[in-house]
């Protein structure tokens, strides 16, 4: 097993990509800390499905945009499993494309808090635990919108671009004991699409893709597994595009 005896915190694992990663990491031997704020039932379901399948998991309710919640999350992870080896900063929210003059200020702040600040907070409180344990791995979630912006998607694309840069910045700072990498997913059919750009826009996006299909949460989970495992031991500060060719 590729993650035997590892402990992984996966934020936003009540659905979509985070849930797929939780199942895959558990299958590879990791103990999973499932984290979400909204969709608490989904989070509990992820954790209980892992346990039913013979794995080890706990659900912790936390809003990753709030320092107090993240501190409780880290304390609970240590109380349950004694260490943290892997942090997958996956929680994020999408954006309904809007002309810049109509973007609501509070929505802008929420996009940045959930997609960017959450990574700062989780890293800040997890790093001391990883250091005690001799090191660890952090995986961040960007988007192809960070590299090839979509029309009227400024807050989301620019926030994910910040995630690409903060990955390099943290990789430099936390080496050599902690590796930090990022995944830029292309279009993946999850709850975020329904709540964000919508299914019609999604279908138009897929039609333009060289690989001519939507990505699946597992497509991203497999890349995350590589970055979480020792197979990527010489990889830090990089971003992998898992995107059906959208970046070409």
Ligand X SMILES: NC(=O)c1ccc[n+]([C@@H]2O[C@H](COP(=O)([O-])OP(=O)(O)OC[C@H]3O[C@@H](n4cnc5c(N)ncnc54)[C@H](O)[C@@H]3O)[C@@H](O)[C@H]2O)c1
Q: Which is nearer to ligand X, 73 or 178 (CB)?
A: 73
Q: Which is nearer to ligand X, 1 or 73 (CB)?
A: 73
d(CA 176, CA 172): 8
User: Cβ 193 to ligand X, closest distance in Å?
Assistant: 5
Residue 246 Ramachandran class (φ > 0 left, ψ -120 to 50 alpha, else beta):
alpha
Tokens of 151: 């029309």
The active-site residue out of 112, 125, 156, 226 is 156
Q: Does 92 bind ligand X (CB under 6 A)?
A: yes
User: Cβ 214 to ligand X, closest distance in Å?
Assistant: 8
Q: Which is nearer to ligand X, 15 or 181 (CB)?
A: 15
Q: Which is nearer to ligand X, 72 or 133 (CB)?
A: 72
User: Cβ 138 to ligand X, closest distance in Å?
Assistant: 14
Burial class of residue 105, CB neighbours in 10 A (0-12, 13-18, 19+) = exposed
d(CA 88, CA 68): 19
Burial class of residue 88, CB neighbours in 10 A (0-12, 13-18, 19+) = buried
Q: Which of 7, 8, 9, 11 binds ligand X (CB under 6 A)?
A: 11
User: Cβ 239 to ligand X, closest distance in Å?
Assistant: 12
Q: Does 154 bind ligand X (CB under 6 A)?
A: no
Burial 134-157 (b: 16+ CB within 10 A, else e): eebbbbbbbbbbbbebbebbbbbb
d(CA 59, CA 135): 24
Tell me the pairing of strands 57-61 and 86-89: unpaired
Q: Does the annotation mark 156 as catalytic?
A: yes
Omega within 30 of 0 (cis) for the link into 176: yes
Interface with ligand X in residues 105-144 (CB under 6 A):
114, 141, 143
Q: Does 76 bind ligand X (CB under 6 A)?
A: no
d(CA 147, CA 137): 24
Q: Does 64 bind ligand X (CB under 6 A)?
A: yes
Q: Does 185 bind ligand X (CB under 6 A)?
A: yes
Interface with ligand X in residues 201-240 (CB under 6 A):
none
Q: Does 161 bind ligand X (CB under 6 A)?
A: no
Residues annotated catalytic, as ranges = 156
Q: Which residues bind ligand X (CB under 6 A)?
A: 11-12, 14-18, 36-39, 63-65, 90-93, 114, 141, 143, 185, 187-188, 190-193
């Amino acid at each position: 097993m590729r993650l035997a005896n590892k402990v992984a915190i996966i934020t936003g694992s009540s659905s979509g990509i985070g849930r797929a990663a939780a199942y895959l990491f558990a299958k590879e031997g990791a103990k999973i800390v499932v984290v979400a704020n909204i969709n608490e039932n989904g989070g509990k379901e992820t954790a209980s499905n892992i346990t039913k399948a013979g794995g080890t998991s706990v659900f912790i309710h936390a809003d990753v945009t709030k320092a107090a919640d993240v501190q409780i999350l880290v304390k609970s992870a240590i109380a349950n499993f004694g260490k943290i080896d892997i942090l997958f900063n996956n929680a994020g929210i999408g954006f309904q494309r809007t002309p810049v003059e109509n973007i609501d200020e509070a929505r802008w702040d929420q996009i940045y808090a959930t997609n960017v600040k959450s990574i700062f907070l989780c890293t800040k409180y997890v790093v001391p635990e990883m250091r005690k344990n001799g090191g660890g791995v952090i995986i961040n979630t960007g988007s192809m919108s960070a590299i090839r912006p979509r029309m009227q998607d400024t807050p989301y694309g620019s926030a994910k671009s910040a995630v690409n840069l903060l990955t390099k910045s943290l990789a430099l700072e936390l080496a050599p004991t902690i590796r930090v990498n990022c995944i830029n997913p292309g279009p993946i059919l999850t709850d975020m699409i329904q709540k964000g750009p919508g299914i019609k826009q999604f279908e138009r996006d897929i039609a333009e893709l060289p690989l001519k299909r939507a990505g699946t949460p597992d497509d991203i989970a497999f890349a995350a597994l590589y970055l979480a495992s020792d197979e990527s031991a010489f990889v830090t500060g990089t971003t992998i595009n898992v995107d059906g060719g959208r970046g070409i």
